[in-house]
Amino acid sequence: MLVVRYFLGTLRLNFDEPVNATSLQVAGSITLHGDRSGIASNTLQLSGGSSSSASGPQLLIDLSVDDLNIVKRFEDLFSSSNDSFISFTNALVLDMNANPVEEVLPGTPIQTVLYTTDTTSPIVSSFDVDMAADPGTFTLHFAETVRVASLKMEYITLQTAFNFSRPGSSERLSLTGGNVTTMVDNTSISVTFLKADFDALKLKGYGVSNSSSWLTMDTAAIRDMAGTPSSPLVDGVNALRVSTLVLDTTPPQVEFFDLNMNSGKIDLFFSEPVDADSVRVEHFSMQNKLSSTGP
């Protein structure tokens, strides 16, 4: 008699007699199956896992982070008790007299009797910003697989200090949009800024240094594969500083200019925001043909 229980990435195996915990061999022994036939594509042979259980009739096995994130990418593998089956070889574990466990063949896997869903909120563990591209990009990293399509851009606020609310000169911008470039549900998600947001961030001095690049997020900015909403990153509490920042080292370019002979004004239009204080008019020259030296 054997009972499987899957709980937040932990398999609980109940045996009909005590087993020797030191003989446990998870990698290559256990296969997870998404259906009773055990032959469908929604299967995963575990590549690892660990247990701190003592010898006895029950073993708790923590799936490896890699295996768990693969499981979460499936829609139909260990998402409920209906698609939670396992098989294992007799290399899995020995009893107290060194007899191997009776194997359960892949064609007749056993079903979990109790399934507990993933109720742990995903949380951003780190984030990166690239200010060199135009528009730039940012990447959010999570400890678990998240559902890419659930990202709500307007729940994300970038700010130039840990604590925006404290009196000072910090600035912030809540994103109005952005283009997710990550196609498959994963533990990281990359987004290209909207050009308008990106230019506004530059004007606010965001992304000039690590200490001027912070992230805050409202609750439920994204959801994990079980639909559990993400935890917030709160201004002045757990706002997150950028990990890897690529600075803007690309020169601004003049895209076009207007000349008004009545007012005597020239308007210059650049590819990105420029610092008005840095303009040096004496470096401008005007000429009446394409080449000043040509015919």
Residues of this chain that bind Ca ion (CB under 5 A)? 118, 120, 224, 228, 248, 250
CB 51 to Ca ion: min, Å: 21
CB 189 to Ca ion: min, Å: 15
CB 122 to Ca ion: min, Å: 5
Q: Which residues contact 12 (CB under 8 A, 6 or more apart)?
A: 3, 4, 5, 6, 58, 59, 60, 61
CB 20 to Ca ion: min, Å: 33
* Complex with Ca ion: residue 249 or 262, whichever CB lies closer: 249
Residue with tokens 């020797």: 20
Give the residue closest to Ca ion by C-beta.
224
* Complex with Ca ion: residue 80 or 165, whichever CB lies closer: 80
- For residues 5 and 11, the answer to whether their CB atoms sit within 8 Å is yes
* Complex with Ca ion: residue 234 or 247, whichever CB lies closer: 247
| Helical segments of 46-176, H only | 65-73
CB 43 to Ca ion: min, Å: 22
CB 72 to Ca ion: min, Å: 8
Report phi then psi at 147, rounded to 5. -85, 110
* Complex with Ca ion: residue 171 or 248, whichever CB lies closer: 248
* Complex with Ca ion: residue 127 or 198, whichever CB lies closer: 198
* Complex with Ca ion: residue 130 or 235, whichever CB lies closer: 130
CB 244 to Ca ion: min, Å: 18
* Complex with Ca ion: residue 90 or 250, whichever CB lies closer: 250
CB 142 to Ca ion: min, Å: 9
| Helical segments of the chain, H only | 65-73, 195-203
Long-range contacts of 220-223 (CB under 8 A, 24+ apart): 220/152, 220/155, 221/151, 221/152, 221/155, 221/156, 222/122, 222/140, 222/142, 222/146, 222/147, 222/150, 222/151, 222/152, 222/189, 223/122, 223/146, 223/147, 223/150
CB atoms within 10 A of CB 62: 17
Residues 38 and 27: their CA atoms lie apart, in Å, by 18
* Complex with Ca ion: residue 106 or 232, whichever CB lies closer: 232
3-class secondary structure, 26: coil
- For residues 215 and 239, the answer to whether their CB atoms sit within 8 Å is yes
CB atoms within 10 A of CB 29: 19
